[in-house]
Amino acid sequence: MTSSVLITGANRGVGLEFARQYAADGWRVLACCRAPEQSDALQQLGVEIHPLDVADPASIVALKAALVGMPIDLLVNNAGVSGGDHQSFGDIDYTAWEQTLITNTFGPYRMVEAFVDNIAISTGKTIANISSHMGSITHYDSGDEYIYRSSKTALNMVSYNLSIDLKDRGVTVLAFHPGWVVTDMGGPDAPVTPSDSVQGIRRTIAQCGPEKSGAFLNYDGTSLPW
């Protein structure tokens, strides 16, 4: 049977590469983005495109209604924002902080609440939350970037919590650092290509069963410290 993957923020960057690779592998790709009419690169892949703003609960509810009863083997919570330019001590944009938490933390959680039934009736039963090593408390000894870091630290906790709450339903929940990737967010100097990042994450997902649920992993499959 054909496997299906739902990807958020699939119109560019890492999300677009997920859509490209899973489509090339013959998966049914449910590619979600805020502005389908402007998603030229995604449209060229010939995948199913659905409108979705993960920061808008009504948008998530509308997609849930459109996909009732459809098995989703893999949910890739990829959509994310960097939090903007004012996130240093003494120079915090609180509105941006709120919006970043809504997108990077509430968004993935709301997606899981909305689609857990679709995931639980699938064969794959996997959720991949695209986090960041910048959310790791152990890994960092520098300051700054309060907004982005706190949103991803919170996402890591949400991922771990979900791994416990969804264990009885057989759902595997993984948090990933995709590497520092060449995208609009990562910039042109990043050392990892979207292709290598997504290949690594896909390979790791394919190797991870329920026993790995709750893990925080680098894109190459190695464990990361919380």
Ligand X SMILES: NC(=O)c1ccc[n+]([C@@H]2O[C@H](COP(=O)([O-])OP(=O)(O)OC[C@H]3O[C@@H](n4cnc5c(N)ncnc54)[C@H](OP(=O)(O)O)[C@@H]3O)[C@@H](O)[C@H]2O)c1
Please identify, using beta-carbon distances, which residue of 37 and 168 lies nearer to ligand X: 37
* Amino acid code (one letter) for 222: T
Footprint of ligand X on 38-57 (CB under 6 A): 52-55
The CB-of-182 to ligand X minimum distance in angstroms stands at 7
Residue 8 binds ligand X, judged by CB under 6 A: yes
H/E run at residue 127:
strand 126-130
Task: Measure the CA–CA gap between 69 and 82, rounded to whole angstroms.
Answer: 34
Q: Which is nearer to ligand X, 143 or 188 (CB)?
A: 188
- Percent of residues in the chain assigned helix, strand, coil, to nearest 5: 45, 15, 40
Q: Stretches 61-69, 73-81, 84-92, 157-165: which one binds ligand X (CB under 6 A)? A: 73-81
> What is the nearest approach in angstroms of ligand X to the Cβ of residue 32?
7
108 binds ligand X (CB under 6 A): no
| Angle (CA) 84 63 75, round 5° | 70
Tally the C-alpha atoms within 13 A of residue 48's C-alpha that lie toward its C-beta: 14
Q: Pick out residues in 140-169 that bind ligand X (CB under 6 A).
A: none
Tokens of 83: 């939090």
- The candidate with the shortest Cα–Cα distance to 163, out of 122, 125, 115, 201, is 125
Return the number of the residue (1 or 35) whose C-beta is nearest ligand X: 35
- Which one among 70, 120, 157, 185 touches ligand X, defined by CB under 6 A? 185
Residues that bind ligand X (CB under 6 A): 8-9, 11-15, 33-35, 52-55, 78-81, 103, 130, 132, 177-178, 180-181, 183-186, 190
